[in-house]
Structure 1
Amino acid sequence: MKGETDMASEEKAEQTEEAGEKANPSTLKIIIISVLLTVIIGGGLVAGTYYFVSNMNPPQAAAGTGGDETGDGEEGEELADSKPSAPPQYFSLDPKFVISFRNQRNARFMQFSIEVMTRNKDVIANLEKHMPVIRSSLLMLFGNQEYEEMVTRQGKEKLLKDVVTEINTVLKKVTGDDDPESSVEAAYFTSFVIQ
């Protein structure tokens, strides 16, 4: 009997080893498939999140937060209307401007170039057509500047705002068009030297 018991236990041990060998490949397959599915799903979530975040329009996303969304759509129309309708176009007011400052002790000069920005190509044509009037008006504006103001950032920024206002005033006078889209939006220094 003892021999039979030993044989039975040996058979059971062999079956257990075979079952273990058979279980290992199937367990290994399950682990590999689980890991692959986790990686694929995780990658899909990351890619999907990146796609949607990168394609969001920041002004609309910011405007849509913190308000009630039961409106009749008028706000969305206003946002669409406030978007620039065309890409910016730049026009250089050449040649450079040279201004002398009145000072009792020292002669002071300022030399600079300005470019203006608009989104309407007709404004560029009007700038070219009426350049003598625009330059004359700007020279009058520049002649009233003080050296102490022009050495500060605030003074330069104010001058650029005044340039935009002056050009738009001249354009309105010579063209008779007071439509905001037929105006200059901004002015920029492209070179600036003061001494």
Structure 2
Amino acid sequence: MQWLRNSALARWLSVVLVVGVMLAVSVHAEDEPPAEGEEAAPAPPKAIYLPLKPSFVVNYGGAGRLKYIKAEVSVRLDSSEAANAVRHHMPYIRNNLVMLFASQTDESLTSQAGKEALRQDALTEVRKVILDEDGLEGVTDLFFNTLIVQK
């Protein structure tokens, strides 16, 4: 029975020790205010993620057996102006992406390198539309949330 009490006491002391260490580390890790005469560095702009809805479902590969791509795409933007531009030019962007997806081949969609090249090409298309139409460079990245290839 004495061992059980000591074991429970040991566990309790371990918990107290861990919490104390965590508090000490968090207090020490807090940013110090800027020194006199120094200005605080501006915070980086927050990223905006905008899904291009609805999902893209596109036939590809030409004649023969029916093959399709289903892709859920999101773009990362660095400003609300860029987000508004993407929303405004959504039909143009969707058209260019549908044409890009439809031009793919089995070879370009079977490897990871091919899928990455498709992602980069799609990013280039979106950037091109926004730059040509509004003169903005706020599209920072493009992501496939889902990419399904049915051969």
Structure 1 residue runs without a partner (length 5+): 1-41, 57-79
Inter-partner Cα distance in structure 2 for 1:124 and 1:194? 28
Higher relative contact order structure (alpha carbons within 8 Å, sequence separation ≥ 6) = 2
CA RMSD of aligned residues (A): 2.8
The offset of 1:84, in angstroms, is 3.0
In the TM superposition, what whole-angstrom CA distance separates every residue of 1:31-61 from its partner, at most 9, and x where no partner exists? xxxxxxxxxxx99x955455435x47xxxxx
Inter-partner Cα distance in structure 2 for 1:163 and 1:102? 18
Q: Report what 1:117 is aligned to.
A: 76
TM-score of the two chains, using structure 1 as the length reference:
0.54
**Aligned ranges 1:86-165 → 2 under 5 Å:** 87-102=46-61, 105-165=64-124
TM-score of the two chains, using structure 2 as the length reference:
0.68
Q: Report what 2:37 is aligned to.
A: none
Paired residues in the alignment total: 125
In the TM superposition, what whole-angstrom CA distance separates every residue of 1:57-112 from its partner, at most 9, and x where no partner exists? xxxxxxxxxxxxxxxxxxxxxxx68x732x21111111211221225542211111
Inter-partner Cα distance in structure 2 for 1:105 and 1:133? 29
More helix by share: 1
Change (3 A) 1:144 1:84: farther
Structure 2 residue runs without a partner (length 5+): 1-16, 32-40
Matched-pair contact (CA < 8 Å) for 2:61–2:104: no
- Structure whose CA Rg is larger: 1
Matched-pair contact (CA < 8 Å) for 2:57–2:69: yes
Q: Secondary structure at the match of 2:53?
A: coil
More strand by share: 2
Between the aligned residues of both structures, percent identity stands at 26
The offset of 1:176, in angstroms, is 2.7
